[in-house]
Structure 1
Amino acid sequence: MQEIKWGIIGCGDVTEVKSGPAFSKVANSKLVAVMRRDAVKAADYARRHKVEKWYSDASELINDPEVNAIYIATPPLQHEAYAIEALAAGKPVYVEKPMTLNAEAAKRMIEASNQYRVKLTVAHYRRAQPMFLKIRELLNDKIIGNIRFVQLNMLQPLNTNIIANTDEDWRKNPAISGGGLFHDLAPHQLDLMSYFFGATEKSVGFAVKQHTGTPVDDLVSGQILFENGIIFNGTWCFTVSEAQQSDICEIYGSKGKISFPMFKNNVSVTVEGQSKDYIFEPLKHVEQPMIEEVVKYFLNKRPNPCSGEEALITMKLLDAFTQ
């Protein structure tokens, strides 16, 4: 295989800018087919993005002989079935986060990848972005000394605009999303914690529904004890006032603190009373750096940038915090 020729299953709103265009912008990669169950919308997406083919049936796209890799960008409910079908067809899979509905489903996807000996990567794409790579470098260089603990607050009002628009509010349907906005946003944050701090020893959490107008938990609190002794404390609440909204992660060390948001582009480092800020250019296509790494992996030019086994850790944390 000299070039990755992608087919997208689920070319909805989140693929318009975040990921879709990037598949034809990176080296040795091209988007050749898209699929959406609504044929009119699939055809419109293909026309606007200059994609050669479109389908309204996922199996037809998976079995297109020109397509040699699959990107799954549907709601989480469909991730498992589509991934296993693509893997069985010998097509490597790049699947959106959260990997699927729960840890047990994630294990079945990993088993299928191993059974068919076909590659599987999960789109925890912040791993490849310059801002988070810089944070990891600062941690590895012990700029703030030995890490003590992490405090994360993701506090949003009911009508938050921090997420992409969708045709239907599926994120608030637990049968489709796995568990509301927490399951949509927290995978980014929890994966980064594992990426930064390594293996987990223990995790526990609480989840409650405080707002009567939603079927999903809207307040989640979770803790992680990492094997290296670092403790993570996280709070996610999606019913605060506009004035109280917050997106901040603070990593405390023996010499100072690193502070950063998940959805903006600035990092603040304070060491022994002296502060330094790092400002990063916003990315037009936020998944492009990760897609570059996935293409290299599929072409056997680098290791897996986020394996199913790594993503399973995040799925187990989601389950631990909410079950």
Structure 2
Amino acid sequence: MIKWGIIGCGDVAEVKSGPAFQLAENSALLCVMRRNANKAQDFAHRHHVPNWTNSAQDILRDKEINAVYIATPPSTHLQYTLEALKTNKHVYLEKPMALNALEAKEICNAVKNSKSKLTVAHYRRKLPAFLKVKELLDQNAIGKITHADIQILQAKKSLFIANSEENWRINPEISGGGYFYDLGPHQIDLMYHYFGAMNKVSGTSYSTEHNSKIEDTVNGVISFENGIQFRGIWNFTSSPLNEKDECIIYGTEGSIKFSFFDSEVHLNNLKGTEIFKFKNPKHVQEPMIKATVDYFLGQNENPCAAEDGLLVMDTLERLSGRKP
């Protein structure tokens, strides 16, 4: 049995992930933590969690808990992950996995030197629409893949951008970057998941505020080792009239189009056009959490290894021009 403690039971844990730890087979949620004790107690009461605390150390010292879900902002991911691994607890780590690639590499090294296991919460890998895209690619439904194109254009008040009481996502000391660092991992991880190892990554970015570490516009290209080419643009100061959330994968015999925030997949090939519609689970991280529990119990492979999270962090830095 995997017995969980959640460090950071905030907005993400409320619906997307928290309840799923109680729904997965061989999984139980024993304790939740939030710095605000009243909110931690409220979360525990509403979700029928037996224990709550406002101290992460209470969870890390609890010998009955053998796995932790770290859902705090990225600025504390390294600290809590290292402490959890030292206490021989498995870790399910929110994305982005750290403030930067250096911290992500430190986490990878710690996992290698630990008896515990770690999975990064790139949960879209397990959602039905994105599984369908991978199935179509594996079936050569559009022939040989040549290139992919992503456009993420969002207005400042877009519904796509996650809201929270404190907008820490635009504080680089807490998030590592702006909305690109918050949302970009979803797109980058799927491209890696679909196309494999990367050969070259480069990009540039622009910030509306002088000397800001918050990239409002990012324009990047990736060359994969198998020859597939990628180009992507992310803009978080777009006009509401221009908002777009689209990925198109092109092949020698057609294309596949989908959204990262929707559940439709459009296949266009020599046989015609077909639209596949899916419904996400109420708790969107549930399939990933179930796969993680199986991995922790030794029943399945890792659904997203720490090295994959490191690759995403490194790619974020190269696409934004922070790293050559």
Which interval holds the TM-score relative to the shorter structure?
over 0.9
The match for 1:309 is 307
1:110-155 Cα shifts (integer Å, max 9, x gaps): 1111112210110001111111111101001110000010000000
The match for 1:247 is 245
- Normalized against structure 2, the TM-score is what? 0.97
The match for 2:280 is 282
For 2:145 and 2:287, locate their aligned partners in 1 and report how far apart those are by CA, in whole Å. 28
Range with bigger deviation, 127-136 or 144-153? 127-136
The answer as to whether partners of 2:128 and 2:280 remain within 8 angstroms in 1 is no
1:270-314 Cα shifts (integer Å, max 9, x gaps): 003710000001321100000000000000000111000111111
The answer as to whether partners of 1:14 and 1:165 remain within 8 angstroms in 2 is no
- Map residues 69-80 of structure 1 onto 2, 5 A cutoff: 69-80=67-78
For 2:118 and 2:280, locate their aligned partners in 1 and report how far apart those are by CA, in whole Å. 28
Paired amino acid for 1:185: L
Paired amino acid for 2:111: S
The match for 1:318 is 316
The match for 1:206 is 204
Please state if 1:269 is matched with 2:267. Answer: yes
1:69-98 Cα shifts (integer Å, max 9, x gaps): 000000011111100000010000000011
Please state if 1:123 is matched with 2:121. Answer: yes
- Map residues 27-42 of structure 1 onto 2, 5 A cutoff: 27-42=25-40
Question: What number of residue pairs does the alignment pair up?
Answer: 321
The answer as to whether partners of 2:292 and 2:303 remain within 8 angstroms in 1 is yes
Q: Structure 1 residues 108 and 215 mapped into 2: Cα distance closer, same or farther (>3 Å)? A: closer
For 2:162 and 2:208, locate their aligned partners in 1 and report how far apart those are by CA, in whole Å. 24
Query: What is the DSSP-based 3-state SS (H/G/I as helix, E as strand, rest coil) of the residue aligned with 1:59?
Result: helix
For 2:306 and 2:20, locate their aligned partners in 1 and report how far apart those are by CA, in whole Å. 22
Query: What is the DSSP-based 3-state SS (H/G/I as helix, E as strand, rest coil) of the residue aligned with 2:16?
Result: coil
For 2:174 and 2:185, locate their aligned partners in 1 and report how far apart those are by CA, in whole Å. 16
How big is the shift at 1:216? 1.3
Of 148, 151, 160, the residue aligned with 1:150 is 148
- Map residues 1-323 of structure 1 onto 2, 5 A cutoff: 3-210=1-208, 216-272=214-270, 274-322=272-320, 323=322
Query: What is the DSSP-based 3-state SS (H/G/I as helix, E as strand, rest coil) of the residue aligned with 2:146?
Result: strand
How big is the shift at 1:165? 2.3
For 1:215 and 1:105, locate their aligned partners in 2 and report how far apart those are by CA, in whole Å. 18
| Runs of 4+ off more than 4 Å | none
The answer as to whether partners of 2:149 and 2:231 remain within 8 angstroms in 1 is yes
Paired amino acid for 1:313: L
For 1:241 and 1:51, locate their aligned partners in 2 and report how far apart those are by CA, in whole Å. 43
For 1:145 and 1:211, locate their aligned partners in 2 and report how far apart those are by CA, in whole Å. 44
What is the RMSD computed on CA atoms of the aligned residues?
1.3
Range with bigger deviation, 265-274 or 171-180? 265-274
The answer as to whether partners of 2:127 and 2:280 remain within 8 angstroms in 1 is no
Query: What is the DSSP-based 3-state SS (H/G/I as helix, E as strand, rest coil) of the residue aligned with 1:87?
Result: helix
For 1:40 and 1:86, locate their aligned partners in 2 and report how far apart those are by CA, in whole Å. 24
The answer as to whether partners of 1:153 and 1:249 remain within 8 angstroms in 2 is yes
How big is the shift at 1:164? 3.0
**Structure 2 residue ranges without an equivalent (≥5):** none
How big is the shift at 1:215? 5.8
Range with bigger deviation, 35-44 or 259-268? 35-44
For 2:309 and 2:25, locate their aligned partners in 1 and report how far apart those are by CA, in whole Å. 26
For 1:58 and 1:157, locate their aligned partners in 2 and report how far apart those are by CA, in whole Å. 35
How big is the shift at 1:15? 0.8
For 1:293 and 1:277, locate their aligned partners in 2 and report how far apart those are by CA, in whole Å. 27
Paired amino acid for 1:258: I
Range with bigger deviation, 53-62 or 250-259? 53-62
For 2:139 and 2:99, locate their aligned partners in 1 and report how far apart those are by CA, in whole Å. 36
The answer as to whether partners of 1:211 and 1:239 remain within 8 angstroms in 2 is no
Range with bigger deviation, 272-281 or 68-77? 272-281
**Structure 1 residue ranges without an equivalent (≥5):** none
